[in-house]
Structure formats: structure tokens, C-alpha cells
Amino acid sequence: MLVNNGSAFHGWHRFVLSFSPALVKHYIDYFGLNKSSVLLDPFCGMGTTLVEAKMNGITAIGLDANPFACFVSSTKVDWDVNPDELCKIANEIASESEILYKNKDESFFNNLKYKLDISEDLILKKSISYAPFCKILVLVDIIKRFEESKFYKNLLLALANITVHIASNLKFCPEPSVKEIKADAPVIKAWLMKIYEMARDLRSVDPRAYPEAKVHLGDARRADALLSPQSIDAVITSPPYPNEKDYTRITRLELVLLGFVKNNGDIRKIKENLICSSTRNVQREDDDEQWADKIEIIEEIVDEIEYRRLALGKDSGFEKLYGTVTRRYFGGMARHLAALRPTLRPGAQLAYVVGDQCSYLRVTIQTGRLLAEIARGLGYDLVRIDPYRTRFASKTRAELREEVVVLRWNG
């Protein structure tokens, strides 16, 4: 088995809000999971749980509503790729890209943008400068020739990584914003170095020695439609928090430049399958708040938010939605936990990494405590709530707790 050095495969692409692989390993050991176990991450994001499970010889399944997240996770757990062939193809692509970029004019790159159907209006203004943008266009166009090959996902994932970390002008706190503008960046060279890193990790494993990991594009609130009955032994996950973060915005640059979304309609479709955790994600058809209607402690928080809003004279459209988002968030989590029940084997163990919030007019939302109450109301046993870490919320200037809610399903 691969020796887990904390970076192999995990480092192919990371999410700004990702939790630690060491945390996943801790709960794998605490739950006593083994080769016969099936581990689920219903909010799999960049695949931290899935990669760690595979490293430890455990079959894993991931769900996510964001197509880019599903792409990243599925690529990071597919180790049946020949690293030497990958590097050979990447070197050829890099050489061709360098020549094309140096010998083409502005009209060529404009035509390429239209050919790839990339809408710059969907990304944050000034998030990427012209020269790096053109290099990415060239790489995307050439990489798409390999769409039917075994190497395609690795070629594209390496580009996703350097698009954010090398080519862009973005910083994440954790919301994306524009930092110092850089006129150019070594996009092609950095992409090739990322491919070499992937190849190094792939050379360290024999893919036949590791179990399968599957990733499904779908809504965690409909987990029972995606998973077989009584097929899951454990859950280790970190769902979104009620924190006013637009999760499609955090990955927007990759979604757009790599062709996962073409227009606002595509983004709206993604949001429809996300648990509501932001005023930017309030969907007219969403009725999740009915799942939180009779939970007294949630209504108390909503009342406090509304009382403070009125007292402060806050009357913008977004501020008026704070209570709605709170209800819908916890209603969505209740709906998710309810849908999960038929997929769990008796005795299944669950770990939910969640964080307290005060994004809504500084009203404290103890997410872990509320999630535990919801779970108990749905028939889960609360085993304990473990402290994980504290983090500094830059917007509210507050230190907030992150915790792990540990549950058991006895059937």
C-alpha cells in the first residue's frame, strides 16, 4: 500500500475550504473501517475523503452537485493511468502550445475563445490577465483533442490547478477576490510541472492493489436515489456551512475556462442541486424550509436574526433573506439525513465536519449543535461532538469553532 505522506494525490487540486486528510484518517481508524467497508462522502468536493479512503484500502463513494468537483474527485481516485505515456503526451502538448502562443495574433485568440464558447462575463472581473488567459485557451483547445483518451482528465485537471494558483489574479479569504494584477505567468511550464507531479504519484502505486472509488454527480438531499439500500458503512464529510459563501463562485474560474459551464443557466442548474447556504443560492422552487418548520431552536435563531435586522434598519434584499437561508440550510440538511437513512447499514457511523457561523448580522449559529439535534430527531444516535479547530472569519472578525458531529445509525 501507498505510504500516506499527506500530499500524494491530494495535492493534484485542493479546495480553499477543504479539511485535512489527517482528520479523515483519524475517523477511518476510530470507526474501525477495513477492506470490507464502504465509506461515503455525500459532499465530496475535491475528494479528500475518497483519496484517503483509497489510500487505506477502503472502497469509497462520493457525491457532489458541482460538476467540476465531481471531475476533480473522480480524477484524483483514478490511478489506472500510465505515467510515462501521460508525460510523453504532455510534453508534446506543451511544445505545440508554446509555438502556437508565440506565433499567433489577437484575432486568433479571439476566434479560439468563441470556438471554445467561453464567456468571460461569468468570471470575476480582472481575475485573469490577457496573456495567461490566451495560454490557457491554447492548452484547452489542444487538450480537447484527447477527450476520448485515458489521459484527458489528468491533462485537464493539471490545467485547472495552475489556472487558479499560477495564472489567475485571485486570492481566497475564502471568498474569491482580485489580488495584485500580474501581466503574465509561466502557464505552460507550470502545467507541465503539474503533470510531472501527477506522474510521480502514479508511479508510487500499483492500481490493482487498491479498491475502486466512484463519484456521482447529484444532490445529497436525494442520496437514496443515487445509492443502493443498506450499502454504506460509514460517512465522513464536510457539508457547506450557513456562511454566505457561494460555492459556485469559489470554483467559477475553473468551471468557465475549462468548459463545465457555458452560461448563467448552467450555473443556476448547479445551484438548484446545492443545499442553500447563501442568499445567492435562494431558489424559488426550493421548499427545504418545511423540514425545519417544527424545530424550535432554529426558529429562535431566525427570530433573533430578524429582530436584529429590524433593530439595525437593515432592509436590503439580501439581508431580508437571512432568516430564509437559515431555515432552508437546516431544512436541507434534515432532508439529506432523512434520504441517507435507507442507504445505511445498521450500525453505520457518521462524521460531519461543520463550523459555527455569525455571517448573519453577527447572530451566532452553532451549526454542530443544531445538526446534532436534527439528526436525533430523525432517529440517529448522537455519539459525541469533537472539537476540530478554530478559524478566523475575516468578514466578521470573529474566532469560530469547527467541530465534528459523530453519529450512529442503528436502523
If pLDDT is split at 50, 70 and 90, which confidence band does 246 have? confident
pTM of the full structure = 0.94
Q: What is the pLDDT of residue 6?
A: 52
If pLDDT is split at 50, 70 and 90, which confidence band does 394 have? low
What is the per-residue pLDDT across 271-288, written as a single tens digit (0 to 9) for each? 999 999 999 888 888 889
Query: What percentage of the chain carries pLDDT values higher than 70?
Result: 96
What is the per-residue pLDDT across 115-124, written as a single tens digit (0 to 9) for each? 999 999 999 9
Could you tell me if 325 and 278 are in contact, meaning their C-beta atoms sit under 8 angstroms apart? Answer: yes
- Segment among 20-24, 34-38, 101-105, 372-376 with least mean pLDDT: 101-105
* Mean pLDDT, range 67-96, rounded to an integer: 97
If pLDDT is split at 50, 70 and 90, which confidence band does 93 have? very high
Residue extents of the structural domains in the chain: 10-78+213-409, 83-203
Alpha helices, DSSP H, located in 167-236: 187-203, 223-226
Instruction: Judge whether residue 5 has pLDDT over 50.
Output: no
Instruction: Please count the other Cβ atoms lying within 10 Å of the Cβ belonging to residue 244.
Output: 19
Dihedral, CA of residue 401, residue 272, residue 172 and residue 125, to nearest 10: -150
Question: Which has the closest alpha carbon to 406: 333, 368, 350, 355?
Answer: 350
* Mean pLDDT, range 103-121, rounded to an integer: 92
What is the per-residue pLDDT across 43-53, written as a single tens digit (0 to 9) for each? 999 999 999 99
Element (H, E) at 264: helix 264-272
How many CA atoms lie less than 13 Å away from 348 in the CB half-sphere?
A: 26
Q: What is the pLDDT of residue 94?
A: 98
Q: What is the pLDDT of residue 49?
A: 97
Helix axes 187-203, 130-143, angle to 10 degrees: 50
Instruction: Judge whether residue 15 has pLDDT over 80.
Output: no
Q: How many residues does the chain have?
A: 411
What is the per-residue pLDDT across 340-379, written as a single tens digit (0 to 9) for each? 999 999 999 999 999 999 889 899 999 999 999 999 999 9
Q: What is the pLDDT of residue 2?
A: 44
If pLDDT is split at 50, 70 and 90, which confidence band does 396 have? low
- Segment among 99-108, 121-130, 277-286 with least mean pLDDT: 277-286
User: Tell me, what DSSP letter sits at residue 214?
Assistant: E
Cα–Cα distance for residue pair 250/69, rounded to 1 Å: 11
Element (H, E) at 103: helix 83-103
Element (H, E) at 394: none
Domain at 10-78+213-409, CATH from 1.20.1600.10, 3.40.50.150, 3.40.630.30, 3.50.30.30: 3.40.50.150
Q: What is the pLDDT of residue 4?
A: 43
What is the per-residue pLDDT across 140-191, written as a single tens digit (0 to 9) for each? 999 999 999 999 999 999 999 999 999 999 988 777 889 889 999 999 999 9
Q: What is the pLDDT of residue 169?
A: 95
